[in-house]
Amino acid sequence: MDTDGHGAHGRESGLRDFVGRFRGWMAANEAELAPLLPAHADYDLRVETAKRLRKMLFDAEWGRVGWPEAAGGLGGTILHRAAMHDELFRAGWGGPTIFEHLEIVAPTLVRYADPDFVRAVLPRFLDGSQPWAQGFSEPEAGSDLAGLRTRAEFDGTDWIVNGAKIWTSWAKYARWCLALVRTGTTEQRHRGLTMIAIDLRSPGVTPRPIRQANGTDELGEVAFEDVRVPPDRIIGEVGGGWKAAMYLLAHERGTLSWVRHCGFRENLTAAAKAMNDSSDRQVGEAALHLLGVRATAINLLAREALDVELGPDSAFNKLLTTRTEQTVYNVLRDIDSARVAFPLDSETDPVLQQEYLFSRIVTVYGGSQQMQLMTIARHVLGLRDA
């Protein structure tokens, strides 16, 4: 599958051709693809469907496009992945579910992990058989990553991990956890952290799902008791976890916004069909927010495709996406509040309620809104006293 282009025009032309081929494949496989696109109200079923879709995309080679050949991919860039996401959402896709982390964890593995380890695990992530979780927050640390206490100590053979993580996305369903652990002293703060990949099937690992207010088990708590981790699963350098974490969070706050805004767009488009004159202004405002996210996300995607560091600019994108998400779901609530408050016995209404309730917490997860504002003030605007 050729995804190359030469020069700016070549890249643009190559991407258009790529999208055309992907649309053709979707049309030719519509009967098999259609049942895998909608989001199910039952979250376990939604996860299983997401795995089946990843397997179908991988087997047809589309799921390997946009990832380096050395890591088990077929070449191309994040622009190819973004184009596929766009087309899937337009076809009625409910979103990546547990594979949202594919755009967060996988780039970090490719950049910082041992190449042999990446070649072993990335294809299993891409084909849906071994999802990943992200273990950053802790019961007593919250958003203060520099204050985390989960420890890893080297015994001469393996790293021994003890501690606990909380609000761990998709811990119930994941095979691997990309975790930040302390290998230095508490006084070293962020300089004493290391990123490590932990097999959640290892002895001593206990995952516990946390039932959210929206009825899903997306988040969880994970306890580690004398968990042995081989040394080749250090991601980056020992003591260099903060650098790897900032790279990961730039993707979580930045390029991931492309995937999320595609879902908001389709929900708003569907709701706009039922709007009345009084909701015109609200829908227009939400549409403008969506266009803003799309524009800033495209800029970040282009930078990522050129291997340019996303940096603190991604904090602005996180703020814009957060505001857009809450605006969109407020509009959906106001247009047809009964569907959000009292969902009917259907597949779509309970999912809409779940997404509305989730939108209430987006100013907290992935770094609070206040933290994003401080990042912008200090590192983008240069206000050192902020």
The catalytic site residues sit at 252
Question: Which residues, at least 6 apart from 209, have a Cβ–Cβ distance to it below 8 Å?
Answer: 171, 172, 217, 219, 220
CA-wise closest residue to 314 among 2, 154, 103: 103
Region class of 71: left (phi > 0), else alpha (psi between -120 and 50), else beta: alpha
Determine the residue type at 349. Answer: D
In this structure, the chain runs to a length of: 386
Output the six-digit token pair for 285: 């405002």
The helix (H) or strand (E) run that includes residue 117 is helix 115-126
Distances (CA, A) of 18 to 2, 27, 86: 8, 14, 13
Determine the residue type at 110. Answer: V
Q: Which residues, listed in sequence order, are joined to residue 205 by a DSSP beta bridge?
A: 224
Burial of residue 205 (number of CB atoms within 10 Å: 0-12, 13-18, 19+): middle
| Start-to-end C-alpha separation, the chain | 49
- Beta-strand relationship, 219-229 and 234-235: unpaired
CA–CA separation, 209 vs 290, rounded Å? 32
The helix (H) or strand (E) run that includes residue 164 is strand 159-165
CA atoms within 13 A on the CB side of 150: 31
Distances (CA, A) of 171 to 96, 99, 334, 378: 16, 12, 34, 33
CA–CA separation, 376 vs 386, rounded Å? 10
Buried b / exposed e over 78-91, threshold 16 CB at 10 Å, is bbbbbbbbbbbbee
Region class of 182: left (phi > 0), else alpha (psi between -120 and 50), else beta: beta
Find out whether 221 and 166 touch, Cβ atoms under 8 Å.
yes
